[in-house]
Structure 1
């Protein structure tokens, strides 16, 4: 799953540009805050489990609970986030739609800055019910639950000097329970990395990195050893634009993965644009076009964003090499100060490079949102989901919902 790979990569690369860091505290407000959120949703779906043949319609009452705690002193920050669902469903006897407590999440992050160093610690626990409407980049199938457990840290020195260096480590465990798909197997991944950066000039930065990862599935005699390295060059222009180039090599048990990419970041008057074209030679010997395109634009009556990416990766549950592509479009339109419309269109596809086994997901969402008071708002929404697995027939689901939300923040 792509979101697993992304979170894992963030932990390992957090101290890469240690001589040119992004100070997260600069974007926020210093102090201590508590945030609370509650949402009550009534929802109807005609195929909530997204099976080729619907098991019947489902009516659900879902309570969403969110909690956050933030302490920010400017030189250090501590953050806790927690989410939980309480779900009651009326469904057909054949349905496996869960009831009760569902999809819990707990995340902790700590960061401290000094005149010379940066330290970052991250940990999270997440449980996901597989037969519910998840992200289009989630390709796990069947019923049951998946637990993701992640812990990692990164430390970098030379924050304000021309030469910087750092270390990082992360551990992830994936645990399945009550699943109907025998291909979902528990696994663990451990990764350590080292990196360095050298400022060639006030606007030019050279980066180097090396990492090693071990992946092991339950019941396997030994893990899959991966050793990789990368080198990059970043050039920042006076107008805020940035140009960069990157090379990487990963050695795996099935062969060598090689790639090259370039990135151009543009600061627009009312938005931003980033484009990263590249080429990757897979372990099969085939060369794939890769890219990462992100465009965000603020409009007089709303905002628009578009994202498209394609990458060759093995940072998934089974560590097999895949070509992962996804497209996301989002548009928000403010009808007036109290009413707004939001539209989302998402599509994702994964292709196993060894045998071209292909799966794809798509979704479309439309939401009308009404602000009732400063803390309360009401959403009326529609979601369409489409799933097409190579080994099964396609499946579709339509969902309509009405949700009342409240979110507020207080100092402590």
Structure 2
């Protein structure tokens, strides 16, 4: 579909859909019913943040099906609340948000729903000689209205680009304690637990899974120029997949940091890893071996440069990695980049690297980023992930700006060929305008494309209009 044809179809849809005036009216009542709250600009103490965002989206193929089932119209009213309490030693934060959604989707008779509830609770204590951190999180998502490209995690996994129906729930817990920060010897423990559940899904790649990792460590100040850390780590993975996979990974390793001179740091690591996996076939897989690496980083007149070599063990066997990196400041921005290669047990050698570039213009900026990595997914498969993005920002005047962006995400097999290669580029054009000092408006166009091996390709076009604001109370 061409852009012009897509716009004409949206105009026809707006004319035919009589529920849209009601949607706009309901949104207007919600938005105009809020009044700004006044507060003091006192740093620290108690901070309350309230937010509301009302977004109208019209998409001609929301699920990116090879054959579009029809146009989807969504009005998402997102309400958020954050409480932050700070003292010289402690920080407490509570985050709540949810979406009240009016929808007109093909094949769906439910036009109103409360979706995407999120709860975040965190506490941090930074004492003179100890540190405590606790994070709790919960989120529930209706996959019928979830857009994987908007919800990508920092670390891409095998399931990151899957589009499906049903619902997902995610529970996260992180506890961390460290003592002896200023002593020659210190001790600590990190506990991370993740529980993800799915219901009414179709894709076999979406199954319940639980991951728990415990790290116990001791830190040593060996001399004014050398420090070390001894760590024992255990990671347990349980999945409700076809084979009822259970995997335990145990690692013991010692890290050493040594300051060769005022501008050069040497890092090294040596250890041992054992991976044991069982399933209901029944079968038992055990992979073990030495792990370690060495790195050298040097501070230069402009930025830094370094080189790293490492070897690791996962369920799929040994992986060897080498990379070089460089970071520097430019007259109009900054640049940091790395380039390397990974060689896996399957015999494949893949290029890896990263890029972060910023160029400041007289009335705008250009930013570019790239991250290409090879890792073992939670399902135990070697995957190659690529994420790239370019953004051009042009400031029009004191009230408005224009952003043109391109994003690209790819997940591909890097092992024995058990992962479907999936590519998903996206083009964004957004106009932003400050309606008042408190209210902001953004509108624009998004084009998405998806190509998965064995599934064919699809694309979609979307126009959107968003009005939002946040206001803060400080005490």
Which of 204, 226, 234 in structure 2 is aligned with 1:182? 204
SS of alignment partner, residue 48 of structure 2 = strand
Q: Distance in 2 between matches of 1:98 and 1:216?
A: 37
2:295 and 2:309 in contact (8 A); partners too: no
Measure the CA separation in 1 of the matches of 2:206 and 2:250: 25
Q: 1:295 aligns with which of 351, 357, 371?
A: 357
Match of 1:345 among 406, 420, 427: 406
Deviation string, structure 1 residues 312-340 (Cα, Å, up to 9, x no partner) = 22344x34221111101222221111001
- Given that residues 204 and 234 in structure 1 are in contact (C-alpha distance below 8 angstroms), is that contact kept between their aligned partners in structure 2? no
Instruction: Name the SS for the 2:139 alignment partner.
Output: strand
When residues 405 and 204 of structure 1 are mapped into structure 2, their CA distance, relative to the original with a 3 A threshold, is: farther
Q: Counterparts of 2:436 and 2:465 in 1: how far apart (Å)?
A: 17
Q: Distance between the aligned counterparts of 1:365 and 1:156, measured in 2?
A: 44
The answer for the alignment partner of 2:443 in structure 1 is: 380
Say if 1:386 and 1:164 are closer, same or farther in 2 by CA, change over 3 A: farther
Q: Quick check: 289-298 or 390-399, which moved more?
A: 289-298
Number of equivalences? 383
Deviations along 1:191-238, one digit per CA (max 9) or x if unpaired, are 122456667887887666553312111165551223455736574638
1:114 to 112, 127, 130: 127
User: Does the alignment pair 1:38 with 2:100?
Assistant: no
Contact kept? 2:62, 2:72, Cα under 8 Å? yes
CA distance in 1, matches of 2:391, 2:88: 33
203-212 or 30-39, which deviates more: 203-212
Q: Is the 8 A contact 1:203 1:235 kept in 2?
A: no
Contact 1:56 1:95 in 2 (8 A): no
| Partner secondary structure for residue 182 of structure 1 | coil
Counterparts in 2 of 1:316-355, with a 5 A limit?
A: 316=378, 318-353=379-414, 354-355=416-417
Q: Name the residue aligned to 1:369.
A: 432
Give the match for residue 90 of structure 2.
76
For the Cα contact (< 8 Å) 2:366–2:392, is it kept in 1? yes
Q: 1:268 to 1:121 in 2, by over 3 A?
A: farther
Shift of 1:263: 3.9
1:226 touches 1:251 (CA, 8 Å); kept in 2?
A: no
Q: 1:63 to 1:204 in 2, by over 3 A?
A: farther
C-alpha displacement of 1:154: 2.5
Q: 1:40 to 1:222 in 2, by over 3 A?
A: closer
| 1:378 Cα deviation after fit | 1.0
What is the CA RMSD across the aligned residues, in angstroms?
3.1
> Superposition pairs for residues 125-136 of structure 1, below 5 Å?
125-131=138-144, 132-135=146-149
Partner of 1:309: 371
Give the Cα separation in 2 of the matches to 1:49 and 1:294.
31
Gaps of 5+ in 2: 1-41, 153-159, 256-268, 270-293
Matches within 5 A, 1:11-410: 29-92=43-106, 94=107, 99-131=112-144, 132-135=146-149, 137=152, 138-160=160-182, 166-195=188-217, 211-218=233-240, 220-228=243-251, 231=269, 233=295, 235=297, 237=299, 241-268=303-330, 271-316=333-378, 318-353=379-414, 354-355=416-417, 357-410=420-473
Do the aligned residues in 2 keep the contact of 1:363 with 1:386 (CA within 8 Å)?
Answer: yes
| 8 Å CA contact retained: 1:215, 1:319 | no
8 Å CA contact retained: 2:84, 2:92: yes
The 8 Å contact of residues 130 and 140 in structure 1, kept in 2 or not, is answered as no
Distance change in 2, residues 1:201/1:299 (3 Å): farther
Question: TM-score under structure 1 normalisation?
Answer: 0.82
Residues 143, 237 of structure 1: CA spacing in aligned structure 2 closer, same or farther, 3 A cutoff? same
Q: TM-score, normalised by structure 2?
A: 0.72
